[in-house]
Amino acid sequence: MGAGYPSRSQQVAAWLGLLGAVLVAVGLVVRLAYRTLVTSSVVLLIVGLVLLLIALLVNFARLRGWLGSRSTRYGFAATLMILVVLGIAVMVEVLSTKHTKRFDVTKTARYTLAPQTQQVVRNLKQTVEVIAFYEEAQGGRLEMQNLLDRYAYLSEKFSFRFVDPDRSPREAEKFGIKSYGTVVLKAGKKEEKLVAPREQDLTNGLIKVLREKNKTAYLLKGHGEKSSDNSAQDGYSQIAATIRGSNYDLKDLVLLTAEKVPDDATTVIIAGPRRELHEKELERLTAFIAKGGNALFLLDPDTPPGYAKLLDKYGVVLGNDIVLDKLSRLFGVDEVVPTVSSYEKHPITDRFNVVTFFPLATSVRPKEKPGLGITVQTLAKTSPNSWGETDRAKLDQGEAVFDQGKDIAGPVSVAVVATVDVNQGQASPSPTAQPEPKQARLVVFGDSDFASNNAVKLQGNSDLFMNTLSWLAQDEDLIAIRPKDIEGSPVLLSGAEPQAIFWLSVVLLPVIVLGFGVYKQVQRKRRG
């Protein structure tokens, strides 16, 4: 073998050096991209460096001579530039993996999770694991993976994995999986199973496994109120389903036959009563509030006067009018359906910027002097073009106009929030001890129809109702705009647009292509 050719040992060392370089590169990438694989990256780096050192020692003499040539210097410079470009590409990939930023450019924010979902996931205090039981090629699997990936992007405490029930029958049996497309949510010892869930189902399931137990709201009955099992237009069946779907227990309450408001009651809802409360009922309701209970009043025009007297005790004035708003016609509804597009600052309406509609509403406003230990504020007002009409005869005749000094000028308050310090005026058990701070929460709407079946799906009506219930139940972390069903956004063509598209795509473009081909063929024949 000539002096210019490497020996067998030098060749082997060269290949070991090449292998060592590859191992070093892989170790660096693993170390930068996967912080959890520290041990593996260190092993790769050590082995790679040892192999490079062996190659260097065996081929040291040849390497020194090779580095001195001109071609080597040029090659080295080119190799260095290639390595720099590859290094930059690797670093960009690593940074994009660890510090991703997503943008949703769809018109309806189709790929953006609802504010409530984002709030719940970002506030996770314990680890949540999601196990999705799908076949490898099952329809809907990719869509579910994309949805879960958006959840996991918001919090490191949220993780998910897919399991094929046919390939892992023991795990499917362990969770009692009966059908494909079942998703299991686990948080601690609690589990929740959902079949082909949408975002709203997943978020509600997430709330359920995170809660220790559901809170209970009671819907008062016996005075002509709205009913949770009434599916007619004026019923409350839809909002009742939303309440239960948001992991609240909703029960009916006949206060006349009960000794008191049940101890598990978080909130009592009085929705559209037509008759007065009995004296015993009034005592039991006020006793519930005096102990720190919460109440939601949804009252309409012509509500019996006893309710106005009750609310007066808590600093709320119930009007004797009907709110009209000429701006409502812009939304395609009658002027007796006032709209609210701006809200007063309060946790219920924090970041809430959706229009709400209040069919046949009466004014509700804070009392000027609400009393000791009571704080009252307006929650929602109608537009400046609205007013509270007090002349019912003119309204019935269709001749209602604003009368200065007689009617209530807009903007008109249609929702009020009150907090009552229930310890106010109570004696301390000892001179040094202070009573534990405790507040009752009340919300009063001058309309019960905004949550009824025919109006609850209008814009933000459902969200406003549920935000109110969450605040009353002291679930402030759930106050946000909730997930909605994704609706398609079809492209609507009008006028001459369909014909223009037809002539352009079906006629004009093919003719241009055909004409170009004929032209090129004629040119070839002339040249020939």
pLDDT of residue 85: 58
User: Does 393 or 362 have the greater pLDDT score?
Assistant: 362
pLDDT of residue 18: 75
The Cα diameter of the chain in Å comes to 119
Q: Which fold has domain 115-201?
A: Glutaredoxin (3.40.30)
User: Does 351 or 106 have the greater pLDDT score?
Assistant: 351
Q: Rounded to whole angstroms, how far apart are CA atoms 305 and 35?
A: 68
Is pLDDT of 329 > 50?
A: yes
Question: Any idea what DSSP says for residue 350?
Answer: T
Is pLDDT of 70 > 70?
A: no
Q: Calculate mean pLDDT across residues 456-462.
A: 91
Q: Specify the amino acid at residue 131.
A: I
The pTM is what? 0.65
Cis peptide before 115 (omega within 30 of 0): no
| Whole-Å CA distances, 282 to 111, 262, 404, 411, 443 | 49, 15, 37, 32, 17
pLDDT of residue 489: 44
Segments making up each domain of the chain, as ranges: 8-98, 115-201, 213-423+436-478
Is pLDDT of 498 > 70?
A: no
Structure tokens belonging to residue 325: 């708003």
68 by DSSP, 3-state: which?
coil
Select the highest-mean-pLDDT range: 10-19, 311-320, 434-443, 501-510: 311-320
Q: What is the pLDDT of residues 147-165, one digit of tens each?
A: 999 999 999 999 999 999 9
Structure tokens belonging to residue 331: 């939304």
- Phi first, then psi, for residue 166 (nearest 5°) are -75, -30
Q: Rounded to whole angstroms, how far apart are CA atoms 174 and 155?
A: 27
Q: Please choose, from the candidates 376, 450, 358, 386, the residue with its C-alpha nearest in 3D space to the C-alpha of residue 416.
A: 376
Is pLDDT of 445 > 60?
A: yes
Q: What is the pLDDT of residues 416-428, one digit of tens each?
A: 999 999 876 554 4
Select the highest-mean-pLDDT range: 108-112, 392-396, 407-411: 407-411
What CATH number has the domain spanning 213-423+436-478? Answer: 3.40.50.880
Structure tokens belonging to residue 229: 């099992």
Is pLDDT of 482 > 50?
A: yes
Cβ atoms of 59 and 13 within 8 Å: the answer is yes
